[in-house]
Amino acid sequence: MRRVTGWVLAILSGLIILYNVTQTRYNRQQIEDHPWITFFSGGENLERAYTFTPPFTGFEIAVIAILIIGAIMIFLPTPQQPSAVDKPQDEH
């Protein structure tokens, strides 16, 4: 269950980062194609996007932390529980 949760966290944070990378590329294209519209609209034609480059915002730090926690949950070994066969039984 822990590994599944780790995969879910890692995939979710990866998708958030991927979405923001595509939004950053869209914004760069908008600025290059329509610089005057961007200037006079005050950037209203741009999508809000996080760049995941320093300085980091609180949201970016949280997404990166979730990615790290997910990776730890995936790769941390699971301790083995002793089975009933392995336990010594007292003979009286």
Going 59 to 64 to 67 to 73, the CA torsion angle's sign is negative
pTM, full prediction: 0.67
Cβ distance 28 to 47 under 8 Å? no
Distance CA 67, CA 16 (A): 10
Average pLDDT over residues 10-23: 90
The pLDDT of 61-82, averaged and rounded, is 88
Cα dihedral 32, 33, 35, 41, rounded to 10, equals -120
- pLDDT at position 69 over 70: yes
| Per-residue pLDDT at 86 exceeds 70 | no
Residues with Cβ within 8 Å of residue 60, at least 6 apart in sequence: 50, 52
